[in-house]
A and B are shown apart, each in its own frame.
Chain A
């Protein structure tokens, strides 16, 4: 673990690249979860 920004960006890019290679069904499940979380956050902001 590091606080070096260049290393953090590199690590984020690697994680995104790794996510992109997952099977499509798994990615669509992640997408559904992302949507649920975004909707929950949006609903809590409205309160």
Chain B
């Protein structure tokens, strides 16, 4: 499985200290909880330190490490084992929390980390594109969300209003 190779490469990168921590998000992350969700790429959220002498966080060490191991760059993506992989820094407190609270899972004896279902659902609500709304509905219909955990996340990240609108538009109708 090519995705297993992707995970092995990212685990090696984390073990080498290139990134502090990573977790799978996006459609591949959602597939850990739902039926497989078609996608073209893998979203890997990473946390890492700014380089010495710089206040900016740069993806350069990630790109350098992985290209030296055979990955190739295509635009914003690194192609690893035929999969376009996008490395994303936390874009705000919700994703920071999702990364900190990501859960460990095992795929064919490879340890990895994935956002919780509740964080994936909350991020989908916050992002709000049509495909994110569809994913949020999938989470709700699947019954995989813990209502308490989901509500707590919505309240902590000021998403209660967005949730109310979403409920009115897609659930109560």
Contact = CB atoms under 8 A, between A and B. Distances in A.
Interface of A: 13, 16-17, 19-20, 24-25, 27-32, 34-35, 38-39
A16 B35 contact: yes
A38 B36 contact: no
Interface of B: 1-4, 27-28, 31-40, 105, 107-108, 141-142, 144
A31 B40 contact: no
B142 A28 contact: no
Nearest to B7: A28
Nearest to A26: B36
Contacts of A39: 40
B107 A28 contact: yes
A17 B34 CA distance: 8
Interface majority SS on A: helix, strand, loop or mixed?
helix
Given A31-B38, A35-B39, A17 B142 contact: yes
The SS class assigned to the B binding surface is loop
Contact of A32 (B1, B108, B144): B1
A13 B36 contact: no
Given A13-B141, A20-B142, A31 B3 contact: yes
A39 B83 CA distance: 12
A32 B2 contact: yes
15 contacts: A16-B35, A20-B35, A20-B144, A24-B32, A24-B105, A25-B4, A28-B1, A28-B4, A28-B28, A28-B36, A31-B3, A31-B36, A31-B39, A34-B36, A38-B40
